[in-house]
């Protein structure tokens, strides 16, 4: 029996859920008020990484002479860079639109809100109602805002505005040393801006393995980024064309002058847009409470992606969308919350999956650690990217892979190998038995896994 599924939100959770639902034979209605792809595609992951790629290429050109490649006076055409970024976005949005059409998903343009547990109101050029057997809320998140004296001044920006600057900034103070803050620091420092990161906690990138954090912190400092930890913004004032950020630190009050101040203190669920209270949906603060199938306390209403705040990553939203739809359609969904990779697109890249060494210690899990430096990897040396580390965490008794944390070239791609291994319950010995091609960066994974048992081949004992 076919079901009518209504999905509110066309981001990486919503549009993937719509396609999977259509594949399973549902009548699917997808409601989106703006462009398909959500924050990730339009004002998040994709445009940020497009600009970071250009910045990396620019830096490689500047360093090329020491490798024998003469590329004198590389310059940046910022207008062309921004066009390139927007062209990528438009191509991908068009691709999602075509996928929805080819899967016969009915698209509604407008702002959708819940009327009750089975009905939504779509407010667009004309307002109308739509009822369904199941409703999936995929309304995403928005940049968290903080209020302080000077928060409304021109030049105080969020991550969306930081992607649309008219010129490369001369300087920027970034409030928040999480993933968003570090990526923008890497981007604009590579393009020549003077960057200061202000983080309240004792370290930047707080969820990341401590060894990895230490390496990226050192690399950022080498590129000219000033990092102020255990520090907080108190106010901002204008001085000519610049801004003065007043910072409270453990060593006293300080002032930092810059052209822009980027507020990058995280994101919060965008649930106020869909009126969950109209259907008496249970909340966890601003997030929607869900069970393991992403089902709310109202059995036919589901919430996926950032709006449930379980794992605020685009690929987690997509996987949750598939799981929710399969549950609605009576299938046996699979969603492993213990194996969700994360990536940070700084230079060098960071990636990880599973538990860290510190988390294992906190939980009393006996582990063995294998490590391998990128300085011993031939492909990394060839490319001039020998800074980095692969760290593998395996159970001390069973040998099962429990986590991996990496910094270095291409680690955002090769982390998938460990994610697959963990999903299959593989041990360190299983990966050791897998022959890795040479010369590749991925060989460093095999070397690190050899190191779990103290048998790394290309690194001193």
Among all residues, which ones are annotated catalytic? 438
Task: Verify cis geometry, omega within 30 degrees of 0, for the bond prior to 348.
Answer: yes
| Contacts of 117-124 spanning 24+ positions with Cβ under 8 A | 117/279, 117/280, 117/298, 117/300, 117/301, 118/300, 120/6, 120/8, 120/31, 122/31, 124/33
Minimal CA–CA distance to 177: which of 242, 232, 257?
Answer: 232
**Secondary structure of the chain in the HEC alphabet?**
CCCEEEEECCCCCHHHHHHHHHHCCCEEEEEECCCCCHHHHHHCHHHHHHHHHHHHHHHHHHHHHHHCCCCCCCCCCHHHHHHHHHHHHHHHHHHHHHHHHHCCCEEEECEEEECCCCEEEEECCCCEEEECCEEEECCCEEECCCCCCCCCCCCEECHHHHCCCCCCCCEEEEECCCHHHHHHHHHHHHCCCEEEEECCCCCCCCCCCHHHHHHHHHHHHHCCCEEECCCEEEEEEEECCEEEEEEEECCEEEEEEECEEEECCCEEECHHHCCHHHHCCCEECCEECCCCCCECCCCCEEECHHHHCCCCCHHHHHHHHHHHHHHHCCCCCCCCCCCCCEEECCCCEEEEEECCHHHHHHHCCCEEEEEEEHHHCHHHHHCCCCCCEEEEEEECCCCEEEEEEEEECCHHHHHHHHHHHHHCCCEHHHHHCCCCCCCCCCHHHHHHHHHHCCCCCCCCC
CA 365 to chain centre: 28
Which residue's entry shows tokens 């600009």? 51
Of 402, 375, 379, whose CA–CA distance to 390 is shortest? Answer: 375
Q: Packing angle between helix 45-63 and helix 179-190, nearest 10 degrees?
A: 40
């Amino acid at each position: 029996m076919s079901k009518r599924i209504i999905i509110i939100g066309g981001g990486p959770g919503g549009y993937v859920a719509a396609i999977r639902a259509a594949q399973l034979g549902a009548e699917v209605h997808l409601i989106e008020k703006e462009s398909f792809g959500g924050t990730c595609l339009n004002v998040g992951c994709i445009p940020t990484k497009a600009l970071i790629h250009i910045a990396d290429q620019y830096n490689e050109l500047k360093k090329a002479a020491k490798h024998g490649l003469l590329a004198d006076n590389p310059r940046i055409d910022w207008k062309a860079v921004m066009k390139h970024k927007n062209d990528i976005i438009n191509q991908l949005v068009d691709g999602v639109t075509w996928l929805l059409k080819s899967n016969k998903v009915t698209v509604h343009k407008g702002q959708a809100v819940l009327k009750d547990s089975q009905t939504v109101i779509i407010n667009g050029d004309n307002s109308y109602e739509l009822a369904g057997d199941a409703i999936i809320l995929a309304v995403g998140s928005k940049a968290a805002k903080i209020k302080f004296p000077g928060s409304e001044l021109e030049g105080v920006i969020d991550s969306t505005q930081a992607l649309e600057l008219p010129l490369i900034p001369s300087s920027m103070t970034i409030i928040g040393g999480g993933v968003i803050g570090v990526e923008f620091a890497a981007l604009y420092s590579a393009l020549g801006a003077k960057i200061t990161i202000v983080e309240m906690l004792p370290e930047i990138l707080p969820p990341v393995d401590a060894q990895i954090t230490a390496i990226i912190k050192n690399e950022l400092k080498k590129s000219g980024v000033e990092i102020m930890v255990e520090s907080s913004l108190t106010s901002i004032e204008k001085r000519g064309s610049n801004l003065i950020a007043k910072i409270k630190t453990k060593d006293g009050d300080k002032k930092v002058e810059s052209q822009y101040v980027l507020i990058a203190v995280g994101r919060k669920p965008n649930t106020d847009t869909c009126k969950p209270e109209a259907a008496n949906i249970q909340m966890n603060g601003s997030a929607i409470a869900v069970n393991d199938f992403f089902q709310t306390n109202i059995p036919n209403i589901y919430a996926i992606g950032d709006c449930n705040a379980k794992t605020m990553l685009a690929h987690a939203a997509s996987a949750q969308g598939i799981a929710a739809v399969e549950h609605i359609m009576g299938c046996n969904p699979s969603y492993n919350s213990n194996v969700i990779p994360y990536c940070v697109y700084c230079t060098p890249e960071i990636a990880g999956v599973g538990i860290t060494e510190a988390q294992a210690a906190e939980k009393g899990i006996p582990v063995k650690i294998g490590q391998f430096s990128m300085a011993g990897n031939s492909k990394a040396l060839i490319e001039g990217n020998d800074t980095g580390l692969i760290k593998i965490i395996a159970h001390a008794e069973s040998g099962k892979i429990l986590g991996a944390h990496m910094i270095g070239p291409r680690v955002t791609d090769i982390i998938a190998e460990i994610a697959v291994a963990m999903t299959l319950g593989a041990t360190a010995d299983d990966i050791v038995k897998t022959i890795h091609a040479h010369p590749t960066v991925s060989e460093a994974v095999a070397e690190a896994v050899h190191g779990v048992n103290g048998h790394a081949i290309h690194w001193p004992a």
